[in-house]
Amino acid sequence: MKKVGEHVTIDFLGVKRDYSPDFYSKAIYKIAKKAKIEVLNISEKVFKPQGYTCLALLAESHMSFHTFPEKGIISFDFFTCGKISPTAALDILKEEIKYDRVVVRSFDRSNKGVYEDIYSTPGHKKYML
Amino acid sequence: MKKVGEHVTIDFLGVKRDYSPDFYSKAIYKIAKKAKIEVLNISEKVFKPQGYTCLALLAESHMSFHTFPEKGIISFDFFTCGKISPTAALDILKEEIKYDRVVVRSFDRSNKGVYEDIYSTPGHKKYML
């Protein structure tokens, strides 16, 4: 069985600036262009007193941003069934966001490899039912 | 530093039925009730000739469904900064969806554990920059 897609989660730590909603939608379109995917819809919410969420519905799955300004964290995820790896987003975001550290996880969704990869680690639990 | 949240990805394989959009929004509200989180917005898209995407913007991050009927796969993910683990979704979905196998991944986002957990496995690549 072919995999259905790839998923990447990227967490930026030590972010000092609270970027505007516009910043995130621009980033989404920039990533979409690079990954050759189509953005169909963006839904967003500015939280009070702080925090922002942005979900992009793609012709090839989704992207999301969640910000936690009180913790200096921007959490991004990108699941795509397109041809280009979602890790393509990393270079763009690293240029746009000022941060101290970034934690990246990338994994395939629903492919044979998932069966073969039976490891779990302290921070990552994986199992099949 | 406290973690900002937990993320779970659940892939149902060997799904025979093509459920209606209504099925997925009901599932989202059922999970939200159990996880004690608030659904602020749901955006969805029915693809031609097949496939469906549904993104739920939560007061506590997001949930998503992507279906690939041609492959018999339903891919779900749930990132929450709420108090109840997103794996709470698993019991509900297992009851609602008929499938052969399910692959679950659960991991913390942006916490100290991420630094301590330096392992990568064949199907899961993790790194810090």
Residues A31-50 pLDDT 10s: 999 999 999 999 999 999 99
Q: Which of B52, B53, B95, B104 to mutate to test the interface with A (most CBs of A within 10 A)?
A: B53
Q: For a pLDDT cut of 70, what percent of chain B falls above it?
A: 83
Contacts of B62 in chain A (CB under 8 A): 53, 55, 64, 66
Angle between helix A21-35 and A88-96 (nearest 10): 150
Ranges of H-type helices in chain B:
21-35, 88-96, 112-116
Band of the pLDDT at B41, cuts 50, 70, 90? very high
Catalytic residue at A81?
yes
| Mean pLDDT to the nearest integer, B36-61 | 97
Which of B45, B75, B109 is the closest to A75 by Cβ? B109
- pLDDT score of B62 more than 60: yes
Band of the pLDDT at A124, cuts 50, 70, 90? low
Under 8 Å CB pairs connecting chains A and B tally to 184
For the stretch A86-122, pLDDT in tens is 989 999 999 999 999 888 888 888 654 444 444 555 5
At A93, list the tokens.
Answer: 């975001």
The pTM of the full predicted model, rounded to 2 decimals, is: 0.88
Rounded (to 5) percent helix, strand, coil in chain A: 25, 45, 35
